[in-house]
């Protein structure tokens, strides 16, 4: 089981490296990693388990965040009604289409690998199309918008050596286009 002590923190070079593509069929080690990353997200969103194991809640976890520099990320995005909006392990994900309209989370973004609170709008695309492979190696394409799109872009950034605060305007952290979607 992945615990907070297993999550690589900001400053570790693996977080700034471009991850290597995942080879298929997945090795037993990579399958276990995919399962363990998703298990962390499920556990971190369960208040009792999270408290017991002192887990910070997460909606996404990328392999580099646990010290493995491969293009694999787990996402588990709950909706306001408790239903799951997106639950998937993305292998070799590529954003193939993105909207012009910007979006940002109203409260800003956080990251399991970044312990400090960094205020500001993390400007992203409101809608994206992602092509990826699932853990079985099947090629998939999904279109996501609003919160799920923001989560996926955050995780894909990890695979390319970027952190969320790289997208914050350093001079004016809360500047954003007037037509931007502000996700609550």
Q: Does residue 88 carry a catalytic annotation?
A: no
Please compute, for residue 123, the number of CA atoms within 13 A of its CA located in the half-sphere on the CB side: 17
Instruction: Determine the Cα–Cα distance for residues 15 and 17; give it in Å rounded to an integer.
Output: 6
Terminal alpha carbon distance of the chain? 31
Candidate list 88, 116, 138, 155, residue with the active-site label: 155
DSSP 11: T
CA 126/CA 104 separation, integer angstroms: 8
3-class state of residue 24 by DSSP: coil
Alpha-carbon gap, residue 60 to 41, rounded angstroms: 7
DSSP state string for 37-69: HHHHHHHHTSHHHHHHHTPPP-SEEEGGGGT--
Give catalytic residue positions: 155
């Amino acid at each position: 089981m992945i615990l907070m002590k297993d999550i690589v923190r900001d400053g570790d070079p693996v977080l700034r490296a471009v991850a290597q593509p995942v080879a298929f069929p997945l090795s037993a080690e990579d399958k276990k990693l995919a399962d363990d990353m998703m298990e962390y997200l499920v556990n971190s969103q369960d208040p009792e388990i999270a408290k017991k194991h002192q887990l910070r809640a997460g909606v996404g976890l990328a392999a580099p965040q646990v010290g493995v520099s491969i293009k694999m990320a787990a996402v588990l995005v709950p909706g306001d009604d408790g239903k799951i909006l997106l639950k998937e392990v993305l292998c070799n994900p590529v954003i193939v289409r993105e909207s012009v309209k910007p979006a940002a989370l109203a409260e800003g973004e956080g990251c399991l690998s970044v312990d400090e609170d960094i205020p500001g709008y993390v400007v992203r695309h409101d809608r994206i199309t992602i092509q990826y492979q699932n853990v079985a190696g099947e090629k998939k394409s999904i279109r996501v918008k609003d919160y799920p799109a923001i989560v996926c872009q955050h995780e894909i950034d990890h695979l390319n050596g970027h952190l969320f605060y790289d997208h914050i305007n350093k001079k004016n952290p809360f500047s954003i286009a007037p037509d931007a979607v502000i996700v609550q």
